[in-house]
Amino acid sequence: MASQKGTRITWLGHATVLVTTAKGTNVLIDPFISGNPKYPKGYELPAKIPYMLLTHGHGDHISDAVPVAKKHGSKVVAIYELADYVGSQGVSDTMGMNLGGTVQLDDVAASMVDAKHSSGAQDQQGVHYVGVAAGFVLTIDGGPVLYHAGDTAVFGDMALIRDVYHPEVAMLPIGGYYTMGPREAAVAVRLLGAKTILPIHFGTFPPLTGTPKELAKLVDAGVEVVDWKPGDAI
Ligand code: NI
Ligand code: MN
């Protein structure tokens, strides 16, 4: 497995990922905990999570954003309208950015990049417009460049993500149905040029049938598709 230069990436099932840098900065992406059938049993989040990133407004990505941000003192970073929405739900510290922008979060530079997916936040009042779906590239001081695609189809401009940011580790949805599956993700891997692939957004619910093994058969030699389980860290 490629060296992650002291950065730890813990998969908490579905698209929920905790990144801990060598310096100790915790960044939580897309918290889906109470309703997540694949959340690792008994896993305790670290006490301090200074930053939370949200890729889009669907419930399987933001349903625990408000309680976790309150309990762990997180600044919530998301596209402008989604940050605003989470703020209206009671999160006091939000940062509303937009596609193409980069914000510095201690030793992590977080860049918001394209995704091809819908976005909308559903609650008792209906469905709210919360901007478009996004992905994040995390460029860690003295560490690797990570890409979390959020929910997305494969798209040609993943080549631009490669040109601009040079991601080494890519967290890609592979379940199919709501996102790309292994066939599409294999093309994404080629466009991105990342050598370590961490599959996410598969196996959580019955329609998400794609597997890391299927993807592993389709990628070029020299690319590692990590066959990990929720709770695993690399
Ligand atoms: Ni979604
Ligand atoms: Mn999703």
- Rounded percentage of the chain residues whose pLDDT exceeds 70: 99
The alpha carbon of 142 and the centre of ligand 2 are apart by a number of angstroms equal to 31
Contact 155, 136 (CB under 8 A): no
pTM above 0.95, yes or no: yes
The alpha carbon of 123 and the centre of ligand 1 are apart by a number of angstroms equal to 15
What DSSP assignment string belongs to 141-185?
TTS-EEEE--S----TTHHHHHHHH--SEEEEE-S-SSS--HHHH
Question: Which residue segments constitute the domains of the chain, with CATH numbers given?
Answer: 8-225 (3.60.15.10)
- Rounded percentage of the chain residues whose pLDDT exceeds 90: 98
pLDDT value at residue 4: 78
Q: One-letter amino acid identity for 117?
A: H
Largest CA distance in the chain: 50
pLDDT value at residue 5: 84
The alpha carbon of 96 and the centre of ligand 2 are apart by a number of angstroms equal to 21
Judged against a pLDDT cut of 90, whether residue 9 lies above it is answered with yes
pLDDT digits (tens, 9 = 90+) for 26-78: 999 999 999 999 999 999 999 999 999 999 999 999 999 999 999 999 999 99
The alpha carbon of 169 and the centre of ligand 1 are apart by a number of angstroms equal to 21
The alpha carbon of 219 and the centre of ligand 2 are apart by a number of angstroms equal to 23
pLDDT digits (tens, 9 = 90+) for 124-166: 999 999 999 999 999 999 999 999 999 999 999 999 999 999 9
132/130 Cα distance (integer angstroms): 7
The alpha carbon of 142 and the centre of ligand 1 are apart by a number of angstroms equal to 32
